[in-house]
């Protein structure tokens, strides 16, 4: 009997660390796509119009939340409809609904004590969970306003080398579960996932990316075979 692949979803009792492990690598992948398009251009946010502009490129946005630098606090946009208006907080309200359904404190608490890196992990998980194409943080006089972007202008780079490098960067720089992250990133990209006792494989066309793990699930090696091999 053929084994049915288990899809990547949020499950009851998932901690935020598990959720970040599942969705963070895909979000990092999306951020790299945005960077390839806008380069070093600084975004200018127009809340009244609901858009962000990078030079001659303009995207409609959803407001996710904002970070107060002095207070070191994150505030969700769903708790600030009076500031942003109903139309710009639809995505933030979706995250609130997920927080309520699965009892995720990070998503359902209106204000969180946080540092700037915490804000990025909230934005990363939200981007991937909601199927957005990227997020961006705009600095506004002591505030960092995080917005979500969805646009066909942001093109995917689906090279095998990028998959390998993105996973390497994610597991190295974030406090996550590497085995969960590798499986989730593979499946969310639509690739074939093959688990083994001491390693896992991502089948990407004719190429393969292999991640080896210790008994505790830490990465021992990441190898690439086939297309884009160096």
What integer is the mean pLDDT of 177-202? 93
Residue 116 CB neighbours (<10 A): 12
What integer is the mean pLDDT of 26-30? 97
Angle at which helix 160-173 crosses helix 178-188, to 10 degrees, equals: 150
For residues 175 and 60, give the distance between their C-alpha atoms in angstroms, rounded to a whole number.
Answer: 31
140 in Cβ contact with 45 (< 8 Å): yes
For residues 180 and 211, give the distance between their C-alpha atoms in angstroms, rounded to a whole number.
Answer: 12
pLDDT over 70, % of the chain: 96
182 in Cβ contact with 22 (< 8 Å): no
Phi-psi region of 153 (alpha: psi -120 to 50; beta: other; left: phi over 0): alpha
Instruction: Give me the residues paired with residue 143 across strands.
Output: 68, 140
pLDDT over 90, % of the chain: 87
State residue 216's pLDDT score: 86
For residues 95 and 89, give the distance between their C-alpha atoms in angstroms, rounded to a whole number.
Answer: 10
Q: Is the pLDDT of residue 112 over 80?
A: yes
Helix (H) or strand (E) holding 65: strand 57-68
State residue 151's pLDDT score: 96
110 in Cβ contact with 75 (< 8 Å): yes
66 in Cβ contact with 73 (< 8 Å): no
Pull the structure tokens for residue 142: 């002591």
Place of tokens 């998503």: 107
What integer is the mean pLDDT of 106-119? 96
119 in Cβ contact with 146 (< 8 Å): yes
For residues 15 and 103, give the distance between their C-alpha atoms in angstroms, rounded to a whole number.
Answer: 9
For residues 136 and 64, give the distance between their C-alpha atoms in angstroms, rounded to a whole number.
Answer: 10
SS3 helix, strand, coil % of the chain, rounded to 5?
A: 40, 30, 35
Q: Is the pLDDT of residue 3 over 70?
A: no
Q: Is the pLDDT of residue 44 over 50?
A: yes
For residues 133 and 137, give the distance between their C-alpha atoms in angstroms, rounded to a whole number.
Answer: 14
Predicted TM-score of the model (pTM): 0.93
* Tens-digit pLDDT profile for residues 52-106: 999 999 999 999 999 999 999 999 999 999 999 999 999 999 999 999 999 999 9
């Amino acid at each position: 009997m053929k084994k049915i692949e288990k899809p990547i979803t949020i499950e009851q009792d998932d901690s935020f660390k598990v959720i970040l492990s599942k969705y963070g690598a895909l979000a990092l992948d999306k951020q790299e796509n945005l960077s390839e398009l806008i380069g070093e251009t600084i975004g200018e946010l127009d809340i009244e119009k609901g858009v962000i502009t990078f030079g001659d490129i303009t995207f409609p946005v959803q407001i996710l939340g904002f970070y107060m630098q002095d207070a070191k606090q994150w505030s969700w946009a769903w708790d600030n409809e009076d500031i942003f208006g109903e139309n710009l907080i639809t995505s933030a309200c979706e995250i609130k609904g997920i927080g309520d359904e699965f009892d995720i404190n990070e998503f359902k608490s209106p204000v969180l004590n946080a540092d700037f890196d915490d804000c990025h992990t909230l934005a990363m998980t939200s981007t991937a969970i909601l199927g957005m194409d990227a997020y961006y943080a705009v600095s506004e006089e002591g505030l960092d306003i995080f917005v979500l972007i969805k646009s066909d202008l942001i093109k995917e780079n689906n090279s095998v080398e990028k998959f390998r490098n993105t996973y390497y960067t994610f597991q190295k720089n974030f406090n996550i579960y590497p085995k969960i992250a590798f499986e989730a990133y593979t499946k969310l990209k639509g690739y074939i996932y093959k688990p083994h006792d001491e390693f896992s494989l991502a089948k990407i066309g004719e190429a393969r990316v292999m991640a080896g793990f210790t008994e505790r699930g830490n990465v021992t090696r990441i190898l690439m075979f086939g297309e884009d091999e160096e």
